[in-house]
């Protein structure tokens, strides 16, 4: 442990902090899955909000690690998916594409908002990042919903994307606001 407060902490302390932060977001993502509003083929949860927030406030590696950890825990049987779902069958099922989309989205949001953050106003960078993240969730989820259920592309869009657009836009706007507040408070 450094005795001089201006010295950088040992590398292991930084790794520990990163692991704890990723685990915290994985836990938040798990908890957000339990808040479910039934809405047809794909339930409404707060997961999209947590995924977008993770991408906005964490570096790419940690955002990906947080969501990958969540997926791994659920794949191994912990009831962390919406409504207490768990297992590989859940990931391979009709709504599993949205779960996979969470990983893609967290990484893309972190990449886009990080890249644009030094080139554009922060709100533009974050807004672009969350828009791309939501589109990624929809693209992967919609594709898997279509393939697994045998629904046509149009029917799968109506069942698995259209009902969620307004809610996910609201979640994205709130995620940008919360990320901004966390940065101002120097929490992240």
Average pLDDT, the chain: 90
Residue 101 located in a structural domain: yes
CATH for 88: 1.10.1760.20
pLDDT at 116 over 90: yes
Q: Which residue has the tokens 């644009």?
A: 116
pTM over 0.85: yes
Residue 28 located in a structural domain: yes
Burial class (CB in 10 A: 0-12, 13-18, 19+), 150: exposed
The pLDDT tens digits of the residues spanning 29-74 come to 999 998 877 766 566 789 999 999 999 999 999 999 999 999 999 9
What pLDDT is attached to residue 158? 94
What pLDDT is attached to residue 15? 79
Closest CA to 33 of 17, 49, 18, 21: 49
Tokens in use for 91?
Answer: 């990931």
Residue 7 located in a structural domain: no
Residue 3 located in a structural domain: no
Q: How far apart are CA 48 and CA 32, in angstroms?
A: 9
> Percent of the chain scored above 70 by pLDDT?
90
User: Element (H or E) spanning 171, and its range?
Assistant: helix 165-184
Residue 171 located in a structural domain: yes
The average pLDDT across 19-25 equals 90
Task: Give the total number of structural domains in the chain.
Answer: 1
Residue 75 belongs to domain spanning: 17-184
What pLDDT is attached to residue 61? 94
What pLDDT is attached to residue 28? 95
């Amino acid at each position: 442990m450094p005795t001089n407060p201006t010295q950088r902490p040992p590398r292991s302390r930084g790794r520990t902090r990163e692991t704890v932060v990723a685990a915290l977001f994985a836990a938040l993502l798990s908890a957000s899955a339990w808040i479910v509003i039934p809405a047809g083929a794909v339930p409404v949860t707060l997961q999209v909000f947590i995924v977008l927030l993770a991408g906005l406030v964490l570096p790419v590696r940690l955002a990906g690690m947080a969501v990958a950890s969540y997926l791994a825990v659920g794949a191994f049987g912990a009831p962390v998916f919406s409504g207490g779902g768990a297992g590989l069958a859940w990931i391979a099922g009709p709504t599993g594409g949205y779960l996979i989309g969470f990983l893609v989205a967290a990484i893309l949001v972190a990449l886009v908002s990080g890249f644009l953050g030094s080139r554009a106003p922060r709100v533009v960078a974050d807004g672009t990042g969350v828009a791309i993240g939501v589109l990624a969730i929809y693209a992967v989820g919609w594709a898997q919903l279509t393939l697994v259920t045998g629904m046509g592309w149009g029917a799968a869009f109506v069942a698995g994307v259209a009902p969620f657009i307004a809610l996910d836009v609201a979640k994205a706007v709130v995620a940008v606001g919360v990320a901004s507040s966390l940065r101002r408070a120097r929490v992240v």
